[in-house]
Structure 1
Amino acid sequence: MAKMRQPAVNEQDQNGTRPRHRIATDRNEGKGAVISRLTGAVLRAVLVIFMIATPSLMLASTAADTVQIVALVSIVAGVFVFVEYNSSSPSLMEFRDAPPFNRVRFFGLASTILALTVIAKGATEPTTLTVLFEMVGGSLAEAMDFPYSPVRLVVLMLPAEASTNLIENVRTAAGLSYLVSLLSLAFFVLVLRVKNWPNKRGGFNVWINLPTFDPTAGGDVVERLERDGQLNLILGFLLPFLIPALVKLASDMFNPIQLQDSHTLIWTMTAWAFIPASMIMRGIAMLRVAQMIAVQRENAYLRAQDEGGLPA
């Protein structure tokens, strides 16, 4: 009887019992990946919304119109981040699946906004924390305010009739935001070296992580990545010096930026420090990707030589 039952078991296996089990497992794994991606997208969207809304939530002197504008911008940014990270295909956001690029940028940006908001809050509602931030920020700003420094150029872009209080506030905000951007950049470079990014991840999907870069547009991919990376490095280094000069020239022809408003000061100084640092990070990342592709090409060529497929 046992011998007669054995073919029936084998027949069930051959008819697809085990393949069905594997298909069900794959479906469960697919659902888990979808849930994980959805959760991560929601968390990132919430963090971005709170980051943008931080000045409006913490500053008591925020006008009603400013609150409405910030709420609209926060929602739009949150929806954009959610759609980008929840989608299986890329759209605009670069290095979406290649941490720590976007993580370092987010924490650097959030730290700058939070620090400047705490200092601005101390002007109307002083606390021990706000006084501490103001003292540390003022000391750092004085140390970074030397001739031809970006902080000095930011101070010089102010109009001649600017008050002493405004000059001190701008100097403190510029020095603190620029220092945070430098620390974020240094931490980014350190993480890349320690983790051997992007080689340690085992693969780099150019389509997912560089959606605006077309490898088939013509020319060598490595040369194009190196050229774009070097351009980002140059612009990222020059922008902290060029932006104050451009603002000064524009102020002579148009109405100057009113940095007396706390929100304007926070976002202006944050953008002035964050955009160049972000471009430098992007340039470094693209150079690392170009280096990875060049190494893979060389290894593939050496393997082909060893197998006798190519002449030495």
Structure 2
Amino acid sequence: MGSALRALLIALLVAIPSLFLADSVSDSAHMAALIALVAAVVTFSEYYSEYPTFLEFRNAPPFNRLRFLGLFFCVLFASLLTASEGRGPGVSMTLLQQWSHRTAMIFDFPFSPVHLMSIAFGDRPGLFDVPAITRMASILFVVTLVTLALFWIHARFIFWPIRKKAFNFWINLPLFDPTSGRDVLFRLKRDAHLNVALGFLLPFVIPALLRLWIGAFDPALLVVPEVLIWVLCAWAFLPLTLMMRGIALFRVAALIEEKRRRAYAQDDELQIA
């Protein structure tokens, strides 16, 4: 039952832009339906199976739940804002549009990720609605910050991931082999630092890559509302998931270090006795 519900939610997440955009192209809707079906099947098989495949922290909630909620609200807010912008002038702003205006005023300052995203599309003002993209990017940035803060608080103060049950290393980190290479503690901390660093840099790097793409290739693909929504959501979600993974690996490393310290202390007591 839980696997089917997760698969249904993932399919709904993928289909949100096509559901909210009335002028969605039929080809885009068909592609979204296909991707939603594939995502649902993969999610169902991942959670239905007793053995891990590739999804990390599968049995360590709320890691994946928060990631899903973060991406869900990013896609939902971006779709709602895109649909609201298409209503034309003279229509009163929605509450979400008012929030996006306020967040844009706060986060659209020089060298901020939101400002860099507006610069990435600023070379083609006749092709893109740059103020609308800036407002959308600012609201997505707020969603990712809130999600990251919630997970950090949960990991730091609510004893994640061992508050309810023991942490199964194989189930939750299936792609990490603790028996190969250097000491597992060193590798966990190294990967954690790498994930946090990449998560911090990506909001600044992705706008630069987008500007190179728009300048070197035909940017007409980004004009499609569904594509633009997913590009902005990827800009917000990829750094979020990398930083959450880094925080999670730091937490797992701390648990292993604490367990080793206790084992060494017990050995010392036995030797003294």
Following the alignment from structure 2 to structure 1, what is the Cα–Cα distance between the partners of residues 23 and 213? 29
Counterpart of 1:30?
Answer: none
Q: Distance in 2 between matches of 1:270 and 1:288?
A: 27
**Counterpart in 2 of 1:175?**
138
2:136 equivalent to 1:150: no
What's the CA shift for 1:130?
6.4
Per-residue CA deviation, residues 174-212 of structure 1 (Å, 9 max, x unaligned), is: 111111101110111111223111232342111100011
Cα 1:228–1:63 change in 2 (3 A) is same
**Residue-by-residue CA offset, 1:91-119 (whole Å, 9 max, x unaligned):** 01000000110011001110111111111
Superposition deviation, residue 165 in structure 1: 6.8
Deviations 1:218-269 (A, max 9, x none): 2100000000000000000000001111222233322236443221221111
Tell me, which stretches of 5 or more residues in structure 1 are unaligned? Answer: 1-38
- Tell me the alpha carbon deviations over residues 18-54 of structure 1, each in whole angstroms, 9 at most, x when there is no partner: xxxxxxxxxxxxxxxxxxxxx1111111111111101
CA distance in 2 between partners of 1:133 and 1:163 (Å) = 25
| Structure-1 separation of matches of 2:78 and 2:93 | 10
TM-score normalised to the size of structure 1? 0.82
The SS at the match of 2:223 is: coil
Correspondence 1:44 to 2:6: yes
Which amino acid letter does the alignment assign opposite residue 217 of structure 1? S
1:303 and 2:266 are equivalent in the alignment: yes
- Which one of the candidate residues 155, 174, 185 is aligned to 2:148? 185
Aligned positions of 1:84-163 closer than 5 A: 84-125=46-87, 131-163=94-126
* Structure 1: distance between partners of 2:212 and 2:26: 32
Q: Which amino acid aligns with 1:224?
A: R
Runs (4+) of structure 1 exceeding 4 A deviation are: none
Q: Distance in 2 between matches of 1:249 and 1:85?
A: 39
The equivalent of 2:23 in structure 1 is 61
CA distance in 1, matches of 2:241, 2:102: 25
User: Aligned partner of 1:52: which letter?
Assistant: V
Structure possessing the higher relative contact order (Cα contacts under 8 Å, 6 or more residues apart) = 2
Give aligned-pair identity as a percent.
41
Instruction: Give the 3 Å change call, closer, same or farther, for CA 108–176 of structure 1 in structure 2.
Output: same
Mapping of residues 8-27 of structure 1, within 5 Å: none
Give the match's secondary structure for 1:217.
Answer: coil
Q: Which has the larger radius of gyration?
A: 1
**What SS class does the counterpart of residue 176 from structure 2 fall into?**
coil
Structure 2: unaligned runs, 5 residues or longer: none
CA RMSD, Structure 1 to Structure 2 (Å): 2.0
| Aligned partner letter, 2:57 | F
Aligned partner of residue 255 in structure 1, secondary structure: coil
